[in-house]
Amino acid sequence: MSRRVWTVEEVEYLKDRWGLSPLPNIAKKLGRTECAVRNKIYKLDMGGFFDNGDCITMHKLLSELGYSTNHTYALTSWIEKRNFPVRYRRIKNKRYKIVALDEFWVWAEENQSFLDFSKLEKYSLGPEPTWVDEKRKRDIKNKRQFKKNQKEKWTEKEYEYLQFLVNQHKYTYSEIAKKLGRTENAVARKLWEKGIKARPIQTGNNKEWSKQQIDKLKELILDNYDYEHITEQLKPKTLRAIKSKTSRLYGTQNLDCIRKQFKEEYECLQ
């Protein structure tokens, strides 16, 4: 028996109603089995919406983001500490943690520094806010750099070269990191691990900040850049100098907290 071909009208109806109507209702309207409808949803890559409304289960959301689906972690780190907008819904005899996607995106924008979107496939959660794609690209770049540093163990020659460079007393963290092909954090960590007491120099450029540099720092924070990318934009400022300045200016190094401060100040002026 040949399979019944989906018509253009049926596909359009499915796209319109998925996430708005329960699956059994859609299947009945189309005169198809629920299994056939689920298979078509999968083939069309329409995302993991819950049966009724633009919602997704907590388990599915964590999976799409590439996180462990261990709810104990999420309960503590996301829900309890960061006010994650979870809801609870009972279907038959099971109780599910449900997330409204519009609420998730609002929460995610306010917690960008904490989140990692490197494994989030484009549109796997449906339509995305404009900031998501840039965030994903930055996270992918950071992940690649992290994996590179993790896979490439330091050799004895690198240790010796690192010690030679810091003993010259003329290179900054940024310059040494570039010469070694490592991040500034990796250089700082290795100096500590090896017990090397000498440290890279702090240039006058790192000590003195112009108004233009401070304004640029604020602009980059508001544009949701992380520290690695802020450092790229504010060269020759080092990562350490930028974090130190950020802490002095805003009372914290947490970029999401600073963005929240800006938002609250703006709302007070309205």
pLDDT tens-digit series, residues 11-64: 888 877 665 566 777 888 899 988 888 888 778 766 555 544 577 878 888 888
| Average pLDDT value for residue range 113-139 | 87
**pLDDT over 90, % of the chain:** 6
Rounded distance between C-alpha atoms, residue 149 and residue 15, angstroms = 44
pLDDT at 139 over 60: yes
Which residue ranges make up each domain of the chain? 8-43, 52-111, 153-193, 204-269
Rounded distance between C-alpha atoms, residue 93 and residue 100, angstroms = 21
Looking at residue 32, the DSSP 8-state letter turns out to be: -
pLDDT at 267 over 70: no
How would residue 108 be classed by pLDDT, with cut points 50, 70 and 90? very high
Q: What is the pLDDT of residue 13?
A: 85
Q: How many other C-beta atoms lie within 10 A of the C-beta of residue 189?
A: 13
| Residue recorded with tokens 């802020």 | 230
Q: 3-state class of 137 per DSSP?
A: helix
User: What CATH topology corresponds to 52-111?
Assistant: Arc Repressor Mutant, subunit A (1.10.10)
Q: How many other C-beta atoms lie within 10 A of the C-beta of residue 11?
A: 13
| Average pLDDT value for residue range 93-118 | 83
Note the pTM of the prediction, 2 decimals.
0.52
| Mutual angle of helices 8-17 and 23-30, in 10-degree steps | 160
More confident of the two residues 237 and 21: 237
Q: What is the pLDDT of residue 205?
A: 53
Task: Give the CA count within 13 Å in the CB-facing half-sphere of 75.
Answer: 5
**Where on the phi/psi map is residue 4: left (φ > 0), alpha (ψ -120 to 50), or beta?**
beta
Rounded distance between C-alpha atoms, residue 93 and residue 91, angstroms = 6
CA 270 vs CA 169, 184, 210, 261: distances in Å: 51, 41, 29, 15
Q: What is the pLDDT of residue 104?
A: 92
